[in-house]
Amino acid sequence: MHSHQGSPYDDVSPEMMEDRYNSADQVWSGNPNQVLLRHFSDVKATGTALDIGCGEGADVVWLAKQGFQVTGIDFAPTAVARTKELVDANSLSAEVLDVSFTEFAIESGRQFDLVTCSYGQIPANETSLAQLESLVAPGGSLFVTHHDFESETMMTTRWLGSHLSSDFTVEVLDAFDRDLKTGAGAHHHVDIVLLAVKAK
């Protein structure tokens, strides 16, 4: 396990991420996250899905192809623009919004059958946890992936697994070996994956 304590990774701002996206034509690999494929490739999707921190849209597109009605949110305008372009290029339909997790959770009042968040920057506190839980519809699933690290301020997968309310049953909390050759996350080799289901 790696520690990012005291590093800039604990204080990611919209401006920082926007600068990161503006620094390259493509930041991530362009492929949907491997753990998402591993857990949901056989799912017959008919419901709604929310991708928190959708980045350049690979997961949004994959979920839409699976049959989900997808909403993707990100607080970096360039990421949102790239996701929209990718959705259009694949002749798909998805809602993509330039909004932060906190703003969306507070203002939307919406719930989803599947909520995914891959490598997100959600604060590790009770308020953010309640907001995240509120986005999952009764009987819905929460699927969170993050690198294997410790953080003083960011919601890691292990932290989430030990702090979810009794409304959720954790079905998976496990390490997953990554095999990623390209993109900004290629130097991380182990992810921690959580799949939890909310009571109906």
Report yes or no on whether pTM surpasses 0.95. no
In a domain, 19, yes or no: yes
Is 74 domain-assigned?
A: yes
| In a domain? residue 8 | no
pLDDT per residue of the chain (200 residues) written in tens, 0 to 9: 444 444 344 566 777 777 777 777 777 677 898 889 988 887 777 799 999 999 999 999 999 999 999 999 999 999 999 999 999 999 999 999 999 999 999 999 999 999 999 998 899 999 999 999 999 999 999 999 998 888 889 999 999 999 999 999 999 999 988 665 544 444 557 899 999 999 99
- Whether residue 34 lies inside any domain: the answer is yes
pLDDT of residue 45: 73
Q: What is the pLDDT of residue 77?
A: 94
| 9 found inside a domain | no
Q: Contact 9/154 with Cβ under 8 angstroms? A: yes
Q: Say if 111 falls within a structural domain.
A: yes
Domain assignment of residue 132, yes or no: yes
Can you give the pLDDT at residue 185? 46
Which residues does 152 contact at the CB level (< 8 Å), separation at least 6?
5, 6, 10, 124
CATH of the domain at 113: 3.40.50.150
Number of structural domains (the chain) is: 1
pLDDT at position 25 is 74
Per-residue model confidence (pLDDT) at position 8: 40
Pairwise CA distance, residues 73 & 176, whole Å: 25
Instruction: State residue 97's pLDDT score.
Output: 98
Residue at 3 is within a domain: no
Which residue segment(s) compose the domain that 117 sits in?
14-198
How far does the chain reach from its first CA to its final CA, in angstroms? 35
Q: How far apart are CA 74 and CA 96, in angstroms?
A: 8
